[in-house]
Copies of this chain bind each other. A is one copy, B any other.
Amino acid sequence: MREGDCEGRRLKEQLTNQLPAAGNGLLDRRLFLTGMLGASLAPIASVQGAEPSTSREQRKPWMQAPGDPLNPYGQPSKFEAHVTREGIGSQVGTTGSGASRTPLQSLQGTITPSGLHFERHHSGIAQIDPAQHELVIQGAVKQPLRFSMDDLARYPLTSRTYFLECSGNSAANLRDTAPDMTCGQIHGLVSASEWSGVPVSMLLDEAGVKPEAAWVVAEGADAARMHRSIPLEKMLDDALIALYQNGERLRPEQGYPLRLFLPGYEGNTSIKWLHRLELSHLPAMSRQETSKYTDLRADGRSEMFTFDMGVKSVITSPSGQQRLQEPGVYEISGLAWSAAGPIKQVEVSADAGQSWAPALLETPVLDKSLTRFRIPWRWSGAPSVILSRAHDLHEQQPTRATFLERHGASSFYHYNAIQAWQVSADGSVRNSYAYA
């Protein structure tokens, strides 16, 4: 008998016994690997007694007549029209400063469709004619350079899948009481795409960096002239002049015709509609790195240039404002990410943190990208608090109490504490601070 057979049999026995992985119904993630979850836990949701129901099917209009014609650029089904960006709004009294959020609870996998990528603009969406747009590299360089879009098209590209997260993501959970919101409304300022672009290092090498250069001020061509100061070291590392997102040219709201992309950095440093890189000895001390986008410490003092987004995870299903229809087996699924490198592990608890079980991580687990985690859960029908806790190679996602201890209650940016979802006896799911 082969070893694999033996392992298979042992697993099957565990399945038959529905071996728990942790308290309150969390089941072994290896159930996924056997393909036997259906049989072992049946019935999950299937309705038995199927017969060919030809007569009923023949009444369906889409089986009676040819369907719609081919089309040059496809769109979602009209039956999915409710799946849109969430929490869309501009701040009153501004010229288009606002945000929209990815509906994380409606999505699966790790790629965010570009139409649902979150937005954060400081003066609306610039609609730029690429024929009129240029990128200038100037300041502490041996040879200032100016690139048309046609020039840039000649350069070699790099393609990588990365997450992008606004540093203000999840700040709703800093309110005194847990707001009753969806997962996307709270955490949807994070998305992931395959970005293709020209390495900034290649262009800076061509310009010739002068020895005194230590910072690069990146400025956008939107009406806000949004700009941030980026350490030269990051620019020479993995920074991209991104031209493509998920295969096609950037969408306007992502900075068409080009944006800076800084993997793992807080979102607004990845300057959209980029038109200028200026090298200098010192940072610009711009509005968006002084009065905004700085972090509070517990003593009330600010920290500037806190670029990296911390290790974080969130259960996207089941999540806020969703509802479990009946007791039974469900998949708990969510996303994890970190600027510090690949996610090492995500643990899930269904008993408010009394016990934890490791979730399955979908492969490949990529550096600075979203990682999908999954674990089966048998919900008994009793009120339950479900949690996820991510680990990267260095750190563990903090509790809410730990975060507040470090940053104080007036903090706003870089909130990455463990999210608790309260499942009530009626199956309804609600945002909660039950695990602090």
Interface residues of A (CB under 8 A from B): 31-32, 35-39, 42-53, 57, 60, 62-80, 83-85, 88-90, 95-96, 98-100, 106-117, 119, 121, 123-130, 132, 134, 136-138, 143-148, 150-160, 194-196, 199, 201-206, 208, 221-223, 225, 236, 243-244, 246-253, 256-257, 273, 275-276, 325, 328-331, 333, 362, 364, 366, 372, 374, 376
A435 to chain B, nearest CB (A): 24
Residue of B nearest to A37 (CB): B202
Question: How far, in angstroms, from A69 to B100 measured CA to CA in the complex?
Answer: 10
Contact (Cβ within 8 A) A244 B85: no
Q: Given that A45-B154, A159-B362 are contacting pairs, would A206 and B115 also be in contact in the complex, using a CB cutoff of 8 Å?
A: no
Contact (Cβ within 8 A) B83 A249: yes
Question: Residues of B contacting A51 with CB < 8 Å?
Answer: 138, 144
The 18 listed contacts between A and B (C-beta, < 8 Å) are A31-B156, A35-B199, A37-B155, A38-B155, A38-B206, A45-B154, A51-B144, A69-B90, A70-B100, A72-B88, A76-B248, A77-B251, A79-B130, A108-B157, A108-B247, A116-B247, A116-B248, A157-B333
Question: How far, in angstroms, from A81 to B134 measured CA to CA in the complex?
Answer: 21
Question: How far, in angstroms, from A256 to B35 measured CA to CA in the complex?
Answer: 24
Q: Given that A159-B372, A374-B156 are contacting pairs, would A115 and B57 also be in contact in the complex, using a CB cutoff of 8 Å?
A: no
Question: Residues of B contacting A108 with CB < 8 Å?
Answer: 157, 159, 196, 243-244, 247
Question: How far, in angstroms, from A297 to B425 measured CA to CA in the complex?
Answer: 64
Question: How far, in angstroms, from A201 to B159 measured CA to CA in the complex?
Answer: 34
What 4 A-B pairs are tightest by C-beta distance, nearest first?
Answer: A67-B124, A38-B206, A72-B84, A35-B201
A319 to chain B, nearest CB (A): 14
A329 to chain B, nearest CB (A): 7
A153 to chain B, nearest CB (A): 8
Contact of A145 among B47, B65, B130, B333 (CB under 8 A): B47
Contact (Cβ within 8 A) B68 A127: yes
Question: How far, in angstroms, from A143 to B362 measured CA to CA in the complex?
Answer: 31
Question: How far, in angstroms, from A68 to B90 measured CA to CA in the complex?
Answer: 11
Contact (Cβ within 8 A) B113 A44: no
Residue of B nearest to A249 (CB): B80
Contact (Cβ within 8 A) A85 B67: no
Residue of B nearest to A202 (CB): B38
Contact (Cβ within 8 A) B137 A79: no
Question: How far, in angstroms, from A73 to B76 measured CA to CA in the complex?
Answer: 10
Q: Given that A50-B138, A154-B328, A194-B111 are contacting pairs, would A85 and B62 also be in contact in the complex, using a CB cutoff of 8 Å?
A: no
Question: How far, in angstroms, from A146 to B53 measured CA to CA in the complex?
Answer: 10
Question: Residues of B contacting A144 with CB < 8 Å?
Answer: 48-51
Additional 10 contacts, C-beta under 8 A, given A38-B202, A116-B247: A46-B145, A46-B147, A46-B203, A49-B146, A53-B134, A70-B121, A108-B247, A111-B246, A157-B374, A364-B366
Question: How far, in angstroms, from A421 to B330 measured CA to CA in the complex?
Answer: 52
Question: Residues of B contacting A205 with CB < 8 Å?
Answer: 35-39
Question: How far, in angstroms, from A37 to B158 measured CA to CA in the complex?
Answer: 13
Question: How far, in angstroms, from A252 to B199 measured CA to CA in the complex?
Answer: 37
Question: Residues of B contacting A160 with CB < 8 Å?
Answer: 362
Question: Residues of B contacting A85 with CB < 8 Å?
Answer: 70-74
Question: How far, in angstroms, from A35 to B155 measured CA to CA in the complex?
Answer: 12
Contact of A77 among B83, B196, B221, B252 (CB under 8 A): B252
Q: Given that A53-B136, A85-B73, A247-B110 are contacting pairs, would A331 and B156 also be in contact in the complex, using a CB cutoff of 8 Å?
A: yes
Q: Given that A116-B247, A156-B37 are contacting pairs, would A96 and B66 also be in contact in the complex, using a CB cutoff of 8 Å?
A: yes
Question: Residues of B contacting A95 with CB < 8 Å?
Answer: 65-66
